[in-house]
Amino acid sequence: MNETLIRIDQLYKIFGPGEQKALLRLRQGAEPAELLSQHGCSVALNNISLDVNRGEIFVIVGLSGSGKSTLLRTLNRLIAPSAGEVFFNGQALSGLSATALIQLRRHEMGMVFQSFALLPTRSVLDNAAFGLELAGVGKAQRHRRALAVLAQVGLAQVAGQLPHQLSGGMQQRVGLARALVVNPALLLMDEAFSALDPINRREMQDLLLNLQAGQRRTVIFVTHDIEEALRIGNRIAIMQQGRVIQTGTAEQIVNAPANAYVRRFFSGVDTSRFVLAEDYAGAFDSHATPRQEPPHDRER
Ligand SMILES: Nc1ncnc2c1ncn2[C@@H]1O[C@H](COP(=O)(O)OP(=O)(O)OP(=O)(O)O)[C@@H](O)[C@H]1O
């Protein structure tokens, strides 16, 4: 039985002048393009509802400008939605005081950015320990915990170095360690591996999957790369122009893409390992070839 950690209910976000007026017009049927051309308002999120389960890696995919980062940032309320609600563990974020929200972000949520966003003059150890420092944890204790997390991401030996002394891949490991140090229930990752070369990127994906094994942590991961989504996502949501147009497992989406936009994502991508058994059976039967076992286990 799945347990919901995040519930997103009829969420809208409009950027630009007259946000609420534009929202009213949108709800009355105005097209986002019209709101942009006539009023200079961007509809970044257009009536999004979805649940994210505890313990899953939930990937949000979409083209540039489809609203992925905005959606992610409404989950820790770095962005306040124009309408709708986000519930964390059943609690409405809009009902939290500023202090309660800060506590929630510090203790329950970690965030990893594409740009690493490390503190340049602080050691790797102090960067990793930063969340605990903010939480008022004493130096010895936070360093102990930070070292343990750095060891998990394979960086214990460079704890004393400064970020600029590390490669990009290593810097992002520090970013991950910093997010994990408070042992958050939710990890928000915004194009976290997109600045890395393909080898480092794959290593980071493997690291994330390994760290996730046997954990109940929930990861929400934004990417524009469908291959990355297929590789790491337990479930995937596909965004188009501020809407979530399809949510499902890799198998579900590969086998029944909701529209041409989703299908286009897969062009040039090898999706054979996600094709369902029946499709294979049909293909083999129609060619009267001996039945073979389809590769329906996900390779990671
Ligand atoms: N602060 C802002 N002010 C005005 N418009 C914004 C702002 N942030 C986002 N937008 C607009 O909202 C829409 C969604 O942007 P968002 O950054 O969420 O998309 P994205 O899918 O994450 O794109 P990318 O992959 O390029 O980061 C875009 O049209 C963008 O121009």
Residue 115 pLDDT level (bands cut at 50, 70, 90): confident
To the nearest whole number, what is the mean pLDDT of the chain? 90
Read off the tokens for 93.
């974020």
The pLDDT assigned to 78 comes to: 94
Is 33 or 286 the better-scoring residue by pLDDT? 33
Average the pLDDT over 232-256 and give the result: 95
Ligand 1 geometric centre to CA of 12 (Å): 13
Distance CA(250)–CA(223), nearest Å, equals 15
**What is residue 202's three-state secondary structure?**
helix
Distance CA(12)–CA(26), nearest Å, equals 10
Is 2 or 197 the better-scoring residue by pLDDT? 197
Is 79 or 293 the better-scoring residue by pLDDT? 79
Average the pLDDT over 23-47 and give the result: 94
Q: For ligand 1, what atom is nearest to the CA of residue 13?
A: 12
Contact by Cβ (8 Å): 143, 130: no
Q: What is the pLDDT of residues 264-298, one digit of tens each?
A: 988 888 888 888 766 554 444 444 333 333 333 33
The pLDDT assigned to 65 comes to: 93
- Helices 198-212 + 168-180 axis angle, to 10: 20
Q: What is the pLDDT of residues 146-155, one digit of tens each?
A: 999 999 999 9
Contact by Cβ (8 Å): 36, 42: yes
Task: State whether the Cα torsion 276-282-287-288 is positive or negative.
Answer: positive
Average the pLDDT over 193-213 and give the result: 92
The pLDDT assigned to 127 comes to: 97
**Is there an atom of ligand 1 within 6 Å of 107 CB?**
no
Read off the tokens for 89.
């563990």
% of the chain beyond a pLDDT of 90 = 81
pTM of the model: 0.90
The pLDDT assigned to 275 comes to: 82
Task: Give, for ligand 1, the residue of 41, 69, 71, 245 to mutate: max count of ligand atoms closer than 8 Å to Cβ.
Answer: 69
Q: What is the pLDDT of residues 10-24, one digit of tens each?
A: 999 999 998 999 999
Question: Residue written as tokens 């308002």?
Answer: 41
Residue 159 pLDDT level (bands cut at 50, 70, 90): very high
Average the pLDDT over 48-66 and give the result: 96
Measured from the Cβ of residue 167, the count of other Cβ atoms closer than 10 Å reads 11
The pLDDT assigned to 271 comes to: 87
Average the pLDDT over 38-49 and give the result: 95
Question: Residue written as tokens 């992925």?
Answer: 68
ipTM score: 0.97
Among residues 6, 97, 15, the alpha carbon closest in space to that of 60 is found at: 6
Q: For ligand 1, what atom is nearest to the CA of residue 79?
A: 1
**Is there an atom of ligand 1 within 6 Å of 82 CB?**
no
The pLDDT assigned to 294 comes to: 36
% of the chain beyond a pLDDT of 70 = 92
The pLDDT assigned to 89 comes to: 95
Ligand 1 geometric centre to CA of 147 (Å): 36
Cα distances (Å, whole numbers) of residue 182 to 55, 88, 110, 191: 17, 17, 8, 21
Average the pLDDT over 79-99 and give the result: 96
Residues in the chain: 300
Ligand 1 atom 4 nearest Cα: 15
Cα distances (Å, whole numbers) of residue 178 to 82, 93, 185, 271, 277: 31, 24, 14, 34, 42
Distance CA(87)–CA(161), nearest Å, equals 39
Question: Residue written as tokens 């704890």?
Answer: 159
